[in-house]
Chains A and B, each alone.
Chain A
Amino acid sequence: MSKTLRKFFLLMALLVWACNGFAQNVTITGQVTDDQKSPIIGASVVLLGTTVGNATDVDGNYQINKAPAGKFTIKASSLGFKSVTKEINLVNNQTITVNFVLAADVMNMEEMVIVGYGTNRKRNITSSISSIKAAELANISVPSFEAALQGRSSGVQVTSDNGLAGAPVTLRIRGTSSLSASSQPLYVVDGVPMIAGNYGASGFADGTNSLSLINPADIESIEVLKDASAAAIYGSRSANGVVLITTKSGVEGKSEINVGYYAGVTDVTHRLDLLSGSEYLRMAKMAWANTPGKDTSNDYQAFYAALPFGITRGMADSTNTDRLDEMLRLGAVQEANFNIRGGNQKTTYYVGLTYRDDKGVIINNAFTRASGHIDLLHKATDKFTVGAKMIWTNTMNHRVQTGWAGGLGTAQSRSLPIMPVRNADGTFFAARSGTNPIAYENNTEYVQDATSIMANIFGDYKFTKWLKFRTEYALTDMFQRESRWIGTITQETDWAQDRRVNVNNWYTNNYLSFDKTFSDVHAVTAMIGTSAEKSYQRDAEFSAEELANPTLHNPGSGTKKAGTAYEGGFSFLSYFFRTNYAYNDKYLLSMSIRRDGSSRFGPDNRFGWFPAASVGWIISDESFMKGVPVSSFLKLRGSVGMTGNASIGNYSYFGSYYSTQYNGESGIGTGNIANPDLGWEKVSQIDFGLDWGILGGRISGGFDWYKKLTTDMLLNVNIPETSGSSTVTRNVGSMLNRGIEFFITSNNLTGALIWKTELNLARNYNEILDINNQIIAGETYGNNFAQEGYPIGAWRLVQWAGIDPLTGDELFINQETGEKTNEYNYARDAIVTGNPYPTFFGGMNNILSWKNFDMNIMFTWAVGQDVYRDDAKFLEGGFDGNWNQTTKVLDAWTPENTNTDVQRLTWQPDNRNYNTTRYLEDASYLRLKDLTIGYNLPASFTSKIKVKNVRVYFKGQNIWTLTNFTGWDPEVNRDASGNTTQGVTYLSPPQIKTIMFGINLTI
């Protein structure tokens, strides 16, 4: 390590040479304006090849004193404008005036983009990075910030699992690159890896997401590092890409206060059509009559007798409960935020406070978030800068059961429309049967109360203009308390639980950055550093039954007490180096290498190297391109590198005996099988890209082609269970992802009416190459599999071939003969089919403004992905006597209605709730993700009330969706954490649409 460092600095030292001295007594003055003749404040004017230069003042004027005599190039530049250079001849003791008119740079090529451990000019970036700014994320109402990335970044597939507040989000950057380890990217907030995941108690079907602890209003920008060259600086944790979040910070200038508020209503995007009471009875009786051995005499006496929970004939005939009406409501969301930022040349600050209150669409579901944010930067001396960032957040999530666990899941399945909610005496009907979700909601409490503090203190020391050192010390602490209670309405004994989860991370970064241009043409930047991190999680849970009193919901008052505890953690120690070289700002080279060690890797394999390199060529700067009239920018780039995936479990290498207890004695059992060689998964990636702009940048875009190969993929290799274990974890598999990404930005109209369109599209192809010939089931009921030669999560299902018009039986394809049969034989007839991932996906954003009005119209889409409706086999597959059915079954086969795709209905046990391709649906969709109409109050008015700006707006989210999917909503995911279980729904809660009004004030 230190050897590498020494070599590097020896090289650097060789490149340094002293500047020559000149007579220095020329004065240059002038003004820098834009093409509308407005002054540009803070533009920088420098005399190339010298150390003299200055910035423009509030009138756009500048003055450079003591410039040397001679022939020079003078350059004016400002962020958001194209730089202009002029050749000048300076004569001793003269004052010369040089004015500049800078054209707006619509491509923003000079913009600084955050990269790992530093920044780089957008123009010179040779890797694949998407950058999303605060303006694009402002005022979007999302369960957590990463959901707002949907449709805004090419190649980043975002799926909100459902519409519940604080719900998990599945994010895939360039596909799924792991089978057993996580495929979610690394989230880094202001340089510090974020605690991400579901820390909620299990058993609620849909989990929670600790990323909802980040307040979207605190975010200044999000950079998505997609290719190896961009991500590999994060080494063994970068294989799934890296999402860099930069929070807001102070700015020099007068204090500016921003106040914002919005409020709106939410509703489900689409409602499942279930049978009403009378429809249920009619179809259920038909199914009963169709089932051999079922007696229909005495007007279906036996049928009524078979109804569960003592439902009587009178009750069944007269009841029509709309369960979804009972469980759903119009939600309400409101958010208020306040921030103030400002500062002087020495000190800048930002203080923000946000409160969000989200009353969900499912009764009892609510989410609040309060978040405070302080950022402070102080230039102690010219050389030494210190700063601190602190964000605290508290979320309160009133959780409700969903899916298989109950609540809305029960309301759409086992709650029959012929069951009343309450008995005549006001008590809940069948309260303890697990089929009355209203009874449950009235008899349960679950509050997840999470507090996180992220604090980061850093210092920058500028040794010279070209060499600086930065050190950062960060602490992140997440503390989550969960209080649960279930009373005696739905179960015999009441029960309460108190669960605590604490995740504590400390982190330090220390790096030296070098930035110097030699002979005007050799621009070299370099960075070398080291980081260390330790993360530790402690859980404790305590529960009790038989509480002292129905009003006491703390387990401390209970009798039968039980508790569990857990602790575990991981650590990383890393060294990294990166250098960028640009020749003449035209030929670009970037190289990086990281060495990562982790406690997660086996003792025989503790450290790994992660190198990457990329090159770029700005073709548009070549003289032969000057003649090409429309072309204004063209950059070709390519990268290659190796990234790693260390999300392999904390102690997977460790041979262990787990601890347990029996009858008050402590015991142990065979746990994990040791593998001292266990290591990270390796992902090697190659990327070719093109960035271009034409017509002075009015239309610009980019294109990327990539190929990612995962090797040494972590695999739980099945072994005979006679050995005492099911699997052993090894680095053996391989998987391929390849794809293309495309984006285009067009300034369609630039006059009084401004219209800008941003479009991005991507496709990714996934194939499992080697998993030891195993066929690995994702989850037994979903029928997702991992199988060589197929995309991960493809299904193995029997092919459905419609309904036999003669008998009404479901028909399947016999794969041996190719003929249709009514016999269901999974072992013989299951085929691999479907793909949970889209063929292509993307988004299109239209931004319009006219006078004081602005408008935003954003569509997102995903095309070609399948969703398996795992619940449909019970909701549409015929009566098992326990589940309601969708209105599709009204079209069931009868001797009169033979041309249908719904089978002849039958009753348990003759119902055939089989997994077939019938329930595998194309979930392609096009969605109006966002429609915003805003109005800025005229300055003549705002100046009277002494505010700088007032904007009012209307916003609609998810208000229109086009899809053929017949479930609740095509954007659904039963299990965000699994790689093989994507694209399955099982009574999952729906997505929501939001309509809201808001106001922003700047004072």
Chain B
Amino acid sequence: MKTIKYISSVLVVCGVLSSCEKMLEMEPKMDLSDKTALTSTAGLQSALIGAYDRIQGGDLYGGRIWVAGDMLADNVKISGEQNTVYEELQMINKTMSADNRITTSFWSNAYFTINLVNNVIKEIPNVSDKDIAANKDRLEGEALFIRALLYFDMVRYLGNPVTGLGVPYLKEPTGITVNPARDNIETCYQNIIADLEKAVTLLPATNSDRATKWAAYALLGRVRFYHGDYAESIIACTEVIDKGGFTLEPLIINNYSAAKSGEVIFAIMSTTADASCGTLNGYYRYKSSGKFSPSNDYIQVLASEKSSGDNRVMQLYENIEGKFFTKKFDDRYMNVPILRLSEMYLTRAECKVMVNAADLTAVDDLNVIRARAGLTNAKKATLSAIYLQRIKELAFEGDHFHNMKRLQKDIAGLPWNDIKLVFKVPQREMDVNPNMVQNE
């Protein structure tokens, strides 16, 4: 009978452990469950912050989304202070492959962000807590703004000028089984414009450091301009200039610091724990062993009015033993300006000339920029005069490469619509999505 006793004692131990099966239920303490994350206003707000965090990254507005264009346009040359890596050489040499890390990271980060804001837009009607009513317009407006911002850069980098194919414009989460096809460039533009036109109606005039009504108008002005809708662009730019309450900084360099600038309409914000500008800093700043100097041709243009008193040259560039470096990104902890008031003036000036070459107010817009740079007033706003100020004002801020394409000018010795200047669709996307078409 002893045996029975032994067995029962073991059974007790086993029994105790069986009741411990609860110990197998361990949920992560670092991550939220997908079942509950977006079921409250606070959750939607967090997701939106998560989207800003993503576009802050070095692969998007924290850096490479700008640097890529300058590498492709030969605006930069290798400084020799730091090694250049394979994917950068591919851009400099115009031999981008379908697995170029800059382009594949751009694609994945952009779509991950778009999926996040699409989830926010989708879940807003399903949330019914007490805070939702006061926040739902703003939440949707910010989501639409971020979506439009990303799609605009995607369609400019990935849009194939030969076939007219843009990128898949997704307005809602697709789930993991859908294989979307590329929309036309024109469809993308219509969707971007629609998103922004809705965003300007939803967004408030002030919104912490995040997207406001003015940011949406400013982006709309930029998109309309690139799309050739000059009259509509003027309206949007004017909204910002007249009603936004922004003023040009006395010195252009003030825009590139951790302090807030009166001129910046929308920026990627830094905190001391979370620098936004580390990537750009590593690319451009001499003291950070910057990878790139402005190329010889480009610095010629940028410094062309130095003798005429252009104070931007001394503020923004330094000459270290014969090599030039830009000082725009010297502070890793600066807020990276995405939309600035000076762009609004330049865009409006050009639009005015395009709508009516005799528009005498265009030169006023141009002279706002010239005056701030310490240059004398121009008498007439010629397109070339506006182009020149646009290059100088927005250098290394993600404009020049796209602007050359817009103007259908040769880029780095290649025709503007050369396929070598278009990002490839990532190979892994080609491999898994039968509906995807490569740029080739």
Contacts and interface: CB of A to CB of B under 8 A. Distances in A.
Interface of A: 1-2, 5-6, 9, 12-13, 306, 308-310, 414, 432-434, 463-464, 467, 469, 471, 492, 510, 512, 528, 530, 532, 534, 559-563, 566-573, 575, 597-599, 603, 606, 650-651, 654-674, 718-726, 728, 774-775, 780-781, 826, 881-882, 909
Contacts of B297: none
A412 to B, nearest CB: 14
Nearest to B432: A718
Nearest to A9: B7
B47 A532 contact: no
Nearest to B286: A432
A5 B49 CA distance: 55
B289 A433 contact: yes
Given A561-B273, A571-B23, A656-B34, A725 B53 contact: no
Given A5-B11, A667-B46, A780-B99, A720 B179 contact: yes
A909 B89 CA distance: 8
B18 interface: yes
B271 A664 contact: yes
Given A471-B13, A728-B176, A774-B431, 12 more contacts: A1-B14, A5-B11, A308-B80, A530-B17, A568-B29, A650-B28, A655-B35, A656-B28, A662-B53, A722-B168, A722-B433, A725-B115
Contacts of B162: none
Contacts of B356: none
A387 B30 CA distance: 39
Q: Which 4 A-B pairs have the closest CB atoms?
A: A724-B115, A667-B49, A655-B34, A667-B50
8 contacts: A1-B14, A1-B18, A306-B80, A433-B81, A512-B10, A573-B21, A660-B53, A720-B432
A563 B271 CA distance: 13
A600 to B, nearest CB: 9
Interface in B13-67: 13-15, 17-18, 20-21, 23-35, 37-38, 43, 46-54, 56
Contacts of B24: 571-573, 597-599, 606
A469 B21 contact: no
Contacts of A781: 86
B269 A663 contact: yes
Nearest to A432: B289
B126 interface: no
A603 B24 CA distance: 9
A672 B35 CA distance: 12
A595 B116 CA distance: 40
Interface string B56-100: 100000000000000000000000111100100100110001010
A467 B6 contact: yes
A603 B20 CA distance: 15
Interface of B: 2-3, 6-7, 9-11, 13-15, 17-18, 20-21, 23-35, 37-38, 43, 46-54, 56, 80-83, 86, 89, 92-93, 97, 99, 101, 107-108, 111-112, 114-116, 118-119, 168, 170, 173-176, 178-180, 208-210, 269-274, 287-289, 321, 333, 426, 428-429, 431-433, 436
Contacts of B33: 654-657
Contacts of A471: 13
A747 to B, nearest CB: 46
Contact of A670 (B9, B21, B115, B273): B115
Contacts of B10: 5, 469, 510, 512, 528
Contacts of B53: 660-662, 667, 669
Given A306-B80, A719-B432, A725-B176, A469 B6 contact: yes
Nearest to B15: A2
A665 B49 contact: yes
Given A563-B273, A723-B178, A669 B50 contact: yes
A414 B83 contact: yes
A723 B174 contact: yes
Contacts of B176: 673, 719-720, 723, 725, 728
Contacts of B9: 469
A722 B169 CA distance: 10
Given A560-B333, A571-B23, A656-B34, A464 B28 contact: no
Contacts of A510: 10, 13-14, 17
A775 B210 CA distance: 41
Contacts of A12: 3
A833 to B, nearest CB: 19
Given A309-B81, A434-B289, A780-B99, A667 B28 contact: no
Given A606-B24, A718-B432, A721-B429, A780 B101 contact: yes
Contacts of B31: 651, 654, 656-659, 671-672
Contact of B23 (A9, A464, A534, A562): A534
A669 B54 contact: yes
B34 A669 contact: no
Determine which residue in A598, A657, A728, A881 has the highest number of CB atoms from chain B within 10 A of its CB, and name it.
A657
Contacts of A573: 17, 20-21, 23-24
Contacts of A464: 2
